[in-house]
Chains A and B, each alone.
Chain A
Amino acid sequence: MEKLERYEPLVEEFDAFLEACQRTLPSVVRVNTIKATPERAKAALDEEGVGWTDREWSETVLELDTDNPGSTWASYHGWIHGQEEVSAIPAEVLGPEPGEVVWDACAAPGSKTTQLSALMDDEGLVVANDNNLGRLSALRFNTERLGVTNTAVTNTDSRNFSLKPFDFDAFDKALVDVPCSCEGTIRKNPTALDDWTMDHVRSVAGVQKGILRRAVQATKEGGTVVYSTCTFAPEENEAVLDYVLGEEDCRLVEFDLGLDSRPGVTEFEGEEYDESVRKAKRFYPHHNDTGGFFCAKLEVGE
């Protein structure tokens, strides 16, 4: 936990924050609307005596009163999918529509890819890329288990992703949920911070900048790019946005979400970032009883 002390100047009620980071997470699932309506998924859970609680901000996110949501008929049929609550944020913010062509730049293991497909009613195309071949098998397993048929899976480094295989030259929207130092997953994985170093933060920040730049370039004028991480480090969040705002044609835009959040920060440890990064949102574990998360919405073009 001492590795989180550096965020004390950013986080209100810092003790409550640290305490929340030490509690286990509630068991949360997303209803996969490609295979079932929320009503039918809830009815299946009722039949098995598995209690559920709605989340106000999303019709498809449910908290279950079991530690093992995988051991339900609803899960076997692909009607529900275990997904941490904050992990359901970026696809909702991106808001893809049926028929659009969407890029998921860091897609494995596929929770967000399948959520994008569901939001699109499985119509249009989600190009799901990941640079890690091993993790692609999990992605493919999940898309097929959830009945998704509108994905194309590619295996390249997103920093120099090529549209050449495809018969279109830009995406309508892109989801950039980058590899990060994962500080926000401490409640799910208590050893998440064991290997934390400042060098690692700096090194992933470099990769994050490259991926976000490529996503802005590959998205059409007026299109939307959502950038997200599961970390608190401004070096991987606001600093990456600040850098890309300077290098590519894009701007931050406001978004609403029915979860408690704090705005992006404009200074940290002597660094200053563009004022507009305040439009990004920081999600802290003690505010909504979730993991930690960061999410920003960008529009491509001036």
Chain B
Amino acid sequence: MSDQTNPTNDGQQFDRLPATADDREVEGRATRKEVLDWWDQRFEIPPETFEEFTFWEKGKGKIWILHGDIASPLRIEALGMKFLRTRQEHWKPTTNAVQRFGREATKNVVEVTREEARRFVRGEDQELDWDGDWGYLVVSHELAGGLEPLGVGLYVHGELRSPVPKGRQRDL
């Protein structure tokens, strides 16, 4: 018996993600490599996109993204943007992260019509033809000369579900 306990996640502080599994000290914590691989595999957003950014965990499985770097750990209220929810079967990006970085995506991007976009941002689920992967998609529409991400959608059983948080929903 050892009286040394394994380090666990401390919900009061931000800890920078370990670079790789070999550097991991807190059990179950995502690594920087896993986060980059996830965005690459799911949306083909190249890892270089995040070269200047660091990733942090505060709250179990809540990953935050900061432009730049700072001393870890850090006991403050918020750091950068909430980015990704890990420690669950399917990792889930935030609406705000997809709006900010989803323009880089080339895979699992579904383009919707203006009317479908309205329904999506109202928080409504809708039937949609999509012959790609099920799971989390970048939902985009055409706006001012380019494709612009509305947020993350969940596609299952022929239906596009809208996880747009209440406070971000709009009737447009």
Count class of interface residues, chain A: 35 or more
Verify A150–B70 contact, CB threshold 8 A: no
Query: With an 8 A cutoff between CB atoms, is B7 at the interface?
Result: no
Query: With an 8 A cutoff between CB atoms, is A22 at the interface?
Result: no
- Chain B residues contacting A150 (CB-CB under 8 Å) are 66-68, 80
Verify B143–A73 contact, CB threshold 8 A: yes
Q: With CB as the reference atom, state the residue of chain A lying closest to B64.
A: A149
How many contacting A-B pairs (Cβ < 8 A)? Answer: 96
Query: With an 8 A cutoff between CB atoms, is B77 at the interface?
Result: yes
**Given A44-B143, A70-B170; A165-B78 close (CB under 8 Å):** no
Query: What separation, in Å, do the CA atoms of A266 and B146 have in the docked complex?
Result: 53
Counting chain B CB atoms within 10 Å of each CB, the highest count among A70, A76, A141 belongs to: A76
Verify A77–B148 contact, CB threshold 8 A: yes
A146 CB, min distance to chain B CBs, angstroms: 9
Query: With an 8 A cutoff between CB atoms, is B45 at the interface?
Result: no
Query: With an 8 A cutoff between CB atoms, is B99 at the interface?
Result: yes
Query: With an 8 A cutoff between CB atoms, is B17 at the interface?
Result: no
Query: With an 8 A cutoff between CB atoms, is B1 at the interface?
Result: no
Query: With an 8 A cutoff between CB atoms, is A6 at the interface?
Result: no
Verify A152–B68 contact, CB threshold 8 A: no
Verify A167–B70 contact, CB threshold 8 A: yes
A:137-163 near B, CB below 8 Å: 140-141, 143-145, 147-155
A284 CB, min distance to chain B CBs, angstroms: 35
- Chain B residues contacting A47 (CB-CB under 8 Å) are 143-144
Verify A125–B144 contact, CB threshold 8 A: no
Query: With an 8 A cutoff between CB atoms, is B3 at the interface?
Result: no
A27 CB, min distance to chain B CBs, angstroms: 17
- Chain B residues contacting A262 (CB-CB under 8 Å) are none
Verify A143–B81 contact, CB threshold 8 A: yes
Query: What separation, in Å, do the CA atoms of A152 and B72 have in the docked complex?
Result: 13
- Which of A36, A77, A165 touches B75 (beta carbons < 8 Å)? A165
A:39-87 near B, CB below 8 Å: 40-41, 43-44, 47, 70-73, 75-78
Mark B residues whose CB is within 8 Å of A: 52-53, 65-68, 70-71, 74-82, 94, 96, 99-100, 121, 143-146, 148, 150, 167-168, 170-172
Besides the known contacts A76-B168, A143-B81, 14 further A-B residue pairs in the complex with CB atoms under 8 A apart: A40-B146, A47-B144, A76-B121, A77-B143, A78-B99, A125-B70, A144-B81, A144-B94, A145-B168, A149-B67, A150-B67, A152-B70, A165-B76, A167-B71
